[in-house]
Amino acid sequence: MRIVVVAPSCTLKREAADAVQAIVDERGDCELVIHPQCFLSDGHFAGPDEARLAALREVMGDPSVEAVWFARGGYGSNRIAEAALADLPDAAGGKLYMGYSDAGFLLAGLHKAGLDVAWGPMPQDALRPDGDISIHRALNWLVLRDRSALEPQLQTPAMAFNLTVLSSLLGTSLEPDFTGIDLMIEDLSEQLYRIDRTMFHVAASENVRKVSRLRLGRVSDILPNDPEFAGDETAIVKHWCARSGIAFGGRADIGHDAHNRVVPFGTAKS
Amino acid sequence: MRIVVVAPSCTLKREAADAVQAIVDERGDCELVIHPQCFLSDGHFAGPDEARLAALREVMGDPSVEAVWFARGGYGSNRIAEAALADLPDAAGGKLYMGYSDAGFLLAGLHKAGLDVAWGPMPQDALRPDGDISIHRALNWLVLRDRSALEPQLQTPAMAFNLTVLSSLLGTSLEPDFTGIDLMIEDLSEQLYRIDRTMFHVAASENVRKVSRLRLGRVSDILPNDPEFAGDETAIVKHWCARSGIAFGGRADIGHDAHNRVVPFGTAKS
């Protein structure tokens, strides 16, 4: 199994790359290539749009690459997603693309283009507390298709998104078909009023209203709301589900932490 | 001219109400009624959804009210906007609705329903530095239709929105027709990466792409971006306009400050 890491959003930290390489060396069950583009830096991004796009297109078109692993989130994959999906090379198929958070823009577009994608931990997660657990879980899915890595209540077809990313891709060319999907959302570093506003937007979508159920992952590092918001994130999501005729399916085991589980998009090829 | 203030979003501060009343008393050219709902408080909001909706519907249906002035922004008008627009009473017409920021959800929906709306200063602005200038400008439009209150380069038909509010109403029942509109946007208290992401979303809309031009008001209190974003807000908006075939029309004299000008939606009835 040959896995290549590229960074369509922000720069990968060297310490994270080293930690992941050490885990891979110890496991000995795959080959890991960390593309040098991961360490570029251009303002907010891991290099200019052109460099991030070129690295992604290079690995998409390489038949020897069996998994494309997105280095980390942050912000920026949306800026190159449409170009990444144009005139797909044959070699773009037959491999798995994995990441989460900002990488959701690419997951959506790649899935829509018929490719095999999964929400799951990324190399930068190695730096979190218990980050090695994340990395092993990711590799257990990428290399072994070990079902214990999966979100435990997953019903297929499924998808998972950062809520703010999901809101930002609605109405764009990246928006996938949500019909019958077990849709999981999570978020971080937002005030509750923003979560409420984003849920208003997402729940208004006729496409999102076609999900089989909506489940709420963790909303972490909630920023202070002045004044205190009435109700927590679960109350907010339930409110908008009820108003919009969406079945609320309870909590989901995803989030910006070491416990973040894998959610293959669509019907998992396991 | 009878003006009634209601608060569809957050609670109006007493000091702001008093300052506006003092200005109105001094001018002596209109009657100002501050609805008691403005001072309700329920978590984040100026009273529960039901109370904010009831106050708004009450003044919409009152033929003696010639202008409905939204007390302030914050967040929450989207939660009652759809219900506010249902089965419109005849008296809802023939009056002007004015506000900005979060009130944009209502401006959009009320305009779409054929009512006369304007982006413009709100009572809470009295507490800003030079806030009295804002209040006089608002009253000069509400009472006198004084064209010196208008955004100086305004071309009709026009609209103005907080960028994040605009992004959040796309795809909802509140989304108006942007064909041929001189569209102005502004924002506050966001990181530049969020401005970039929101512009990606807004500029992807086929509806927004029909504007005659997009102009950028002030983006104030920009929060630290880690790392520094490459480029400022003007570069970001120009970038997405160029990518999306939208004519960038330069800067606009709107924003979350005392200099915020009036932008009547559609073709101004002056």
In chain A, whose CA is at the least distance from the CA of B173?
A204
Residue A39 CB contacts under 8 Å (≥ 6 apart), including other chains: A11, A12, A14, A17, A46
Taking a C-beta distance cutoff of 8 angstroms, is the pair B160, B252 a contact? yes
183-222 in A: which are within 8 Å (CB) of B?
192-193, 196-198, 200-201, 204-205
Taking a C-beta distance cutoff of 8 angstroms, is the pair B38, B11 a contact? yes
In chain B, whose CA is at the least distance from the CA of A227?
B44
Task: Say what the pLDDT of residue B125 is.
Answer: 98
Q: Which of B40, B201, B243 to mutate to test the interface with A (most CBs of A within 10 A)?
A: B201
Q: How many A-B residue pairs are in contact by the CB < 8 A criterion?
A: 87
Q: Which of B200, B205, B209, B239 to mutate to test the interface with A (most CBs of A within 10 A)?
A: B200
Alpha-carbon distance of B105 to B78, in angstroms, equals: 5
Sheet with B213-220: list strands edge to edge: B158-162, B182-188, B213-220, B248-251
Q: Give mean pLDDT, residues A223-235.
A: 90
Q: How far is B75 from chain A (nearest CA, A)?
A: 7
Q: How far is B194 from chain A (nearest CA, A)?
A: 9
Alpha-carbon distance of B82 to A67, in angstroms, equals: 46
Residue B48 CB contacts under 8 Å (≥ 6 apart), including other chains: B42
The share of chain A scoring above pLDDT 70, in percent, equals 99
Identify all chain A residues contacting B76, using CB atoms and an 8 Å cutoff.
193
Taking a C-beta distance cutoff of 8 angstroms, is the pair B243, B210 a contact? no
Asked if the Cβ–Cβ distance from A230 to B173 is below 8 Å, we say: no
Taking a C-beta distance cutoff of 8 angstroms, is the pair B49, B55 a contact? no
ipTM score assigned to the predicted complex: 0.96
Taking a C-beta distance cutoff of 8 angstroms, is the pair B84, B111 a contact? no
Considering only the C-alpha atoms of chain B, give the largest distance between any 2 of them, rounded to a whole number of Å: 55
Alpha-carbon distance of B139 to B1, in angstroms, equals: 10
Q: Give the 3-state secondary structure of residue B9.
A: coil
**A39 in contact with B, Cβ within 8 Å:** no
User: Tens digits of per-residue pLDDT, A77-134?
Assistant: 999 999 999 999 999 999 999 999 999 999 999 999 999 999 999 999 999 999 999 9
Q: Which of B167, B174, B223 to mutate to test the interface with A (most CBs of A within 10 A)?
A: B167
pLDDT of A269 > 80? The answer is no
Partner-chain residue, chosen from B168, B204, B225, that has the shortest CB–CB distance to A172 = B204
131-170 in B: which are within 8 Å (CB) of A?
164, 167-170
Asked if the Cβ–Cβ distance from A168 to B201 is below 8 Å, we say: yes
**What pTM was computed for the model?**
0.96
**B223 in contact with A, Cβ within 8 Å:** no
pLDDT of B261 > 70? The answer is yes
Question: HSE of A193 in the Cβ direction (CA atoms, 13 Å)?
Answer: 20
Task: Say what the pLDDT of residue A245 is.
Answer: 98
Considering chain A, what is the average pLDDT of its residues? 96
pLDDT of B264 > 60? The answer is yes
| Three-point CA angle B145, B151, B152, nearest 5° | 105
Identify all chain A residues contacting B170, using CB atoms and an 8 Å cutoff.
170-171, 201
Q: Give mean pLDDT, residues A213-238.
A: 93
Considering chain B, what is the average pLDDT of its residues? 96
Identify all chain A residues contacting B45, using CB atoms and an 8 Å cutoff.
230
Which segments of chain B are extended strands (E)?
A: 2-6, 31-34, 67-70, 96-99, 116-119, 158-162, 182-188, 213-220, 248-251, 263-264
Asked if the Cβ–Cβ distance from B205 to A231 is below 8 Å, we say: no
pLDDT of A186 > 90? The answer is yes
Task: Say what the pLDDT of residue A270 is.
Answer: 41
Number of helical (H) and strand (E) elements in chain A, helices listed first: 8, 10
Task: Say what the pLDDT of residue B227 is.
Answer: 85
Q: Give mean pLDDT, residues B228-256.
A: 96
Asked if the Cβ–Cβ distance from A205 to B171 is below 8 Å, we say: yes
Q: Which of A42, A53, A175, A201 to mutate to test the interface with B (most CBs of B within 10 A)?
A: A201
Identify all chain B residues contacting A78, using CB atoms and an 8 Å cutoff.
197, 200
